[in-house]
Amino acid sequence: MSQRSRYWSCTKFADWLRGTPKPYAETMEGWDAWRLKAETAHPWRYWLADEGLDHIQNAIHYVPDQIYAVKYYINNRWVTRTHCLSAAAGDIKPGSWCDVGNRFLPCLFGELVDFVEIELAWWNIAWESKTARKKYNAPFWATGWFRWRTWRCAQAGLDNLDWQRNLKQEDDYGISKDDPRYGTPTDQAVRAQEILDLYNWWKVTRPARPDAYEASGWTAYCEASRGENGGSLRWGADTSPALKRMSNRAHKALRKIEAAYEKEDEEMMIRLIKVRHALWT
């Protein structure tokens, strides 16, 4: 089935035909329970609403679906290149060498940034009014038939995450007021908060980390060593006791800082892997 912004099986008419309203949102277990309940209550009506309407919609939209398929093949193959991971030019300079192990972090977080600033940005305006779209100055090719998944708007993506992370367990999710979960964040809200935290870490926190060479005193030592050795760095061969002490302290501090940064990078990359199933629109 082609991806559509509106499915006939999710309309009010489908709810009437089925005899069992479809929830606005649910967990995987909740959807399984609802399907069992709806199919058991009215088997034939359930099939008409959830499968029959899809077959009819597919038949009516057959030609535009084929056109969309060609368009999205071109988009996925040559524009957004969804078959591969790549790093932003600011993270790995094109044409420069980067070992495989060093590509993982920038490539994965580069994809996270694109997800927020492109995919969620589109989601934030896809079904909104023209006034809402105008707020972000979205071009005509940002939504609708002409969409090529190249429009980027960090604020639109962040606004979408802000909406998601504030979703609460309420009536729309089948949670009554006497349920202890009522008013608590939904699973979607929890995942959205994690995505936002990871995005902010990569875009704000990590770039603001003190330079390891500066913070450890290694840069200061190198300048002092060159100053006493006619412009040459003589690390490990300094004759001055003061320079030797300075070198040892700086080198020890440098190793400690770099190890801490590496540990943080690894922990954040693991967190990103764990939330990967929430990275879809």
3-state SS assignment for residue 81: coil
Q: What is the pLDDT of residue 56?
A: 94
The fraction of the chain above a pLDDT of 70, given in percent, is 95
83 belongs to a structural domain: no
Of residues 113 and 134, more confidence is placed in: 113
Q: Is the pLDDT of residue 187 over 80?
A: yes
Q: What is the pLDDT of residue 1?
A: 44
Q: What is the pLDDT of residues 251-273, one digit of tens each?
A: 999 999 999 999 999 999 999 99
Integer angstrom CA distances of residue 169 from 82, 173, 187: 34, 6, 9
241 belongs to a structural domain: yes
Q: What is the pLDDT of residues 145-160, one digit of tens each?
A: 767 788 999 999 999 9
225 belongs to a structural domain: yes
246 belongs to a structural domain: yes
The DSSP annotation for 121-181 comes to HHHHHHTS-HHHHHHTT--GGGSGGG--S----HHHHHHHHHHHHT-B--GGGT--TTSTT
Q: Is the pLDDT of residue 2 over 60?
A: no
Q: Which domain holds residue 247?
A: 212-252
244 belongs to a structural domain: yes
Q: Which residues neighbour 232 within 8 Å (Cβ) at sequence distance 6 or greater?
A: 225, 226
Opening angle at CA 127, ends 126 and 130, nearest 5:
90
Q: Is the four-CA dihedral 186, 111, 120, 193 of positive or negative sign?
A: positive
**pTM (2 decimals)?**
0.82
Q: Give the highest mean pLDDT range of 61-70, 121-130, 132-141, 209-218.
A: 209-218
105 belongs to a structural domain: no
Count of domains in the chain? 1
234 belongs to a structural domain: yes
71 belongs to a structural domain: no
